[in-house]
Structure 1
């Protein structure tokens, strides 16, 4: 019996679905719900369904990590979006890139596929929100989908998540070794400039692909679609700009006296707190 019950009033069967992202938090949550965390076996949920909303633009390490998670869980992860990935919706939106102000990628590649997958069934959705995070996770407006945050319920913070992953043998996603802090598309707009530089160094072909999506039309201010708010990715081709960013570090916040480029390109990790948990966790 789980500590916090979620019930529906219509008497129909209930499906339990956990959306994994290839990141540390949702993976730790999956292990918790599989009964793999010693002392918290009461969270074990039989017949849990695991799904992954595939943008078709994920890091190679994300797919590798998901395969390892499948092995640890002994359960299949269902991949969604087989017929309509990022490129399809990019065309539908006429080349308009997703941004913090218009997250069509979250809506079309994460939320809608998930809701289509569960249909009209009664579903409890499990989301990897930690106890030390002061934000709201995915909450569907559909009455047949209710949300739970077991990591928060159990009191697991960042260190607790790391402990779950280490104790299980799964460990952390390997993309964290080279500077990426969370899962998401190769060109996720929530990346800090530091992470863009590390992508350039680690996967130059993905960086080049991200550049190709940008639209910069000097004659039309409405056609300035770039991944970073204040500069195109081509600005990071300058070795001096990359050097400044790496020296500033991933979490340093710009101050008034900064060089202009340094102010533009210094990463502020607080922006990531706005990201959708279904995508980033």
Structure 2
């Protein structure tokens, strides 16, 4: 059996890597990250930090084709919460090629206090395991694991609630505004991908969002304190219960 720990560049999957490494030090784990080539710079920095602190090697998988290739193949139709072709083409397919026909334990970092299930492969040789659910690990435990390991949280959590591509369609509007603040060049790239009625936000282009940026910020911070704004807060733009299950592990 192969033991594959799926990393997203986020807090939960990182805590799982720390947890499993300490709990079962004799197991030969494979640490895998599916790289779309569209990740935030902070994500790559965090992955490098994980490797250094834990003394592990993270396998970086990719689809061998850039996002633009698939976008053209889809006739300019952007991925959405209802059509997640980016996840299928750039994460699931490379992952399943990597696994092949070997018998595999696939470790997914969904916590005991979450009401969702992760990506479950249709391949019969893949056995999905949820260590945090089995051991009752919740958000407080994850924070403790990361702090004690000295890895800490990814720096993008200061302005974003989860891992994923810079243009992830599960971002809230406030997070799109923050993307423009922290990475204006990436925001502009995402804007270029929009055409006609194909927009990242339903009923709103990123150009419209820029014009309304100050209004979005004021409304958001009026509803949430700046301290709470850094946490995963249920919001009108929040798709936490529908997020990409292999992206936000």
Q: Same fold (TM over 0.5)?
A: yes
- Report Cα offsets for 1:177-197 as digits up to 9, x if no partner: 2x1111100010000001000
Q: Are positions 1:116 and 2:97 aligned together?
A: yes
Structure 2 stretches lacking a partner, 5+ long:
225-233
Which residue among 139, 145, 164 is the counterpart of 2:126?
A: 145
Q: How far apart, in 2, do the equivalents of 1:275 and 1:45 lie? A: 33
Q: How far apart, in 1, do the equivalents of 2:93 and 2:108 lie? A: 16
Q: How far apart, in 1, do the equivalents of 2:143 and 2:188 lie? A: 33
Which residue among 156, 161, 164 is the counterpart of 1:184?
A: 164
- Report Cα offsets for 1:62-99 as digits up to 9, x if no partner: 00000001112211101111622322222221211100
* Alpha carbons 2:171, 2:238 under 8 Å: kept: no
Over 6 Å off, 4+ runs:
none
* Alpha carbons 1:193, 1:267 under 8 Å: kept: no
- Report Cα offsets for 1:196-246 as digits up to 9, x if no partner: 000011111111000000011xxxxxxx110001200001221xx212211
Q: How far apart, in 2, do the equivalents of 1:248 and 1:157 lie? A: 30
Which residue among 187, 195, 205 is the counterpart of 2:185?
A: 205
Structure 1 stretches lacking a partner, 5+ long:
1-13, 36-40, 217-223, 254-265
- Report Cα offsets for 1:236-265 as digits up to 9, x if no partner: 221xx2122112227959xxxxxxxxxxxx
Q: Are positions 1:34 and 2:21 aligned together?
A: yes
Higher RCO by CA contacts (8 Å cutoff, separation 6 or greater): 2
Q: How far apart, in 2, do the equivalents of 1:45 and 1:124 lie? A: 15
Which residue among 227, 230, 235 is the counterpart of 2:200?
A: 227
State the match for 1:66 in structure 2: 47
State the match for 1:19 in structure 2: 6
**Equivalent pairs, count:** 240
Task: Compute the TM-score of the two structures, normalised by the length of structure 2.
Answer: 0.91
Q: CA deviation at 1:267?
A: 4.6
Structure of higher CA gyration radius: 1
Task: Compute the TM-score of the two structures, normalised by the length of structure 1.
Answer: 0.81
* Alpha carbons 1:16, 1:47 under 8 Å: kept: yes
State the match for 2:174 in structure 1: 194
Q: Given the superposition, is the C-alpha separation of residues 151 and 214 from structure 1 closer, same or farther in structure 2, using an over 3 Å criterion?
A: same
Q: CA deviation at 1:44?
A: 4.4
* Alpha carbons 2:50, 2:151 under 8 Å: kept: yes
Q: CA deviation at 1:149?
A: 0.9
Q: How far apart, in 2, do the equivalents of 1:45 and 1:214 lie? A: 49
